[in-house]
Amino acid sequence: MAKKVSRIGVLTSGGDAPGMNAAIRAVVRTGIYHGLEVYGVMRGYQGMIEEDIVRMEGRSVANIIQRGGTILKTARCKDFYEVEGRKKAYANLRKKGIDGLVIIGGDGSFRGAVAFSQEFDIPCIGIAGTIDKDIYGSDFTIGFDTAVNTAIQAIDKIRDTMDAHDRIFIIEVMGRDAGYIALHSGIATGAENILIPERKTNIKDIIESLQEKERRKKLVNLIVVAEGDDFGGAYEIQKILQENLPKAEIRVAILGHIQRGGSPSAIDRLIASRMGYHAVECLMEGRHNVFVGILNNKMHYIPLEKAVKNKGNIGGEWMKIVKILAS
């Protein structure tokens, strides 16, 4: 028989993502609707270890759905990697009577939840909150749509000056281990080349393509590169291209943390609200140690252990589309 929960905690962990506040709001209000006590854990697992835990009411989450960042703050916690740190965190939850957790975060946050739930038999539900969309088992992660739209708006502006000056622009977007932001923003802005960690960069092909375009007087070219690309990022690409195309004007723009901030898009608000609601429903139903994902517009519940062991995959069709549309 499933262990009944009565007090739940919610936390945000790892990198912040637009829409996290909408998910917090959904968890708090759904929990209260079901008669649960809801507690917010400040600064992720760090706050759990330091007992920085506050009771939340319906008004605690008023007027936050449109805000970026996270009202619960977030942090990366080295102490939680250690058994002693997790023991301390569990003792603090016991002190408050918290018997279920909702963790909003990415791959690292889910790994922490797997270890914690196995050691202390506390049910954990994950909500995928990461702009990188690098969680296996869901078509969406909170923050991805907003990050892509932020990148698109910036790239569109850069393209105006690129066209005016006949320049090659290399634009670096976030994505240390996953190239989804680069792929989506690159296709949406008509990039000639998109470089991602999932595919080995053939710099020779890029050079030959640009040299051929230079001969045809097609001097305007857009290259979108994920920060985790195997060749080393935008400045490394610029260096070798400049050596082989000495007459070309090659500029670099690093979009950086601008992609993490800002008001969440409608899609991110909706999926965050939906995931937050279903996370609490999972705890109520006794469906523990899963993360709430959306596949083909339906809710799916993927074991946390499976989510952290598997990686998403960018299919070859996407790269074929890039090649054909950029020709």
Domain check: are 223 and 213 in the same one?
A: yes
| CA diameter of the chain | 72
Same domain, 180 and 229: yes
Structural domain count, the chain: 2
Q: Which structural domain range is residue 254 located in?
A: 145-260
Percentage of the chain modeled with pLDDT above 70: 98
pLDDT of 3: 60
Residue 190 lies in a domain: yes
CATH label of the domain that carries residue 215? 3.40.50.460
pLDDT value at residue 200: 85
User: Which CATH number do you get for residue 43?
Assistant: 3.40.50.450
Domain shared by 217 and 271, yes or no: no
Q: Please check whether residues 253 and 276 belong to one and the same domain.
A: no
> What tens-digit pLDDT sequence spans the chain (327 residues)?
356 889 999 999 988 999 999 999 999 999 999 999 999 999 999 999 999 999 999 999 999 999 999 999 998 888 898 899 999 999 999 999 999 999 999 888 989 899 999 899 899 999 999 999 988 888 899 999 999 999 999 999 999 888 888 788 999 999 988 899 999 999 999 998 899 988 888 888 888 888 887 777 776 789 999 999 888 889 999 999 999 989 888 899 999 999 999 999 999 999 999 999 999 999 999 888 899 999 888 999 988 888 777 776 777 788 888 888 876
Predicted pLDDT at 84: 93
319 domain residue, yes or no:
no
Q: Report yes or no on 25 lying in a domain.
A: yes
Q: 316 in a domain, yes or no?
A: no
Domain end residue (candidates: 199, 234, 260): 260
Last residue in a domain, options 202, 236, 260:
260
On whether both 20 and 149 belong to a single domain, the answer is no
pLDDT tens string 69-78: 999 999 888 8
Which residue, 251, 259, 289, is CA-closest to 116? 289
Q: Are residues 293 and 248 in the same domain?
A: no
68, 217: one domain:
no
pLDDT in tens, 121-151: 899 999 999 999 988 888 899 999 999 999 9
Answer yes or no: do 49 and 120 share one domain: yes
* Residue 79 counted as domain residue: yes
User: Which positions are annotated as active-site residues?
Assistant: 132
The reply to whether 108 falls in a domain is: yes
**249 within some domain:** yes
pTM of the shown model? 0.92
Residues 253 and 151 in one domain: yes
Does residue 207 contact residue 223 with C-beta atoms inside 8 Å? no
- Regarding whether 157 and 112 lie in a shared domain, the answer is no
Query: Do residues 90 and 205 share a domain?
Result: no
| 21 and 92 fall within a common domain | yes
What is the rounded distance in angstroms from the CA atom of residue 315 to the CA atom of residue 207? 24
Residue 321 lies in a domain: no
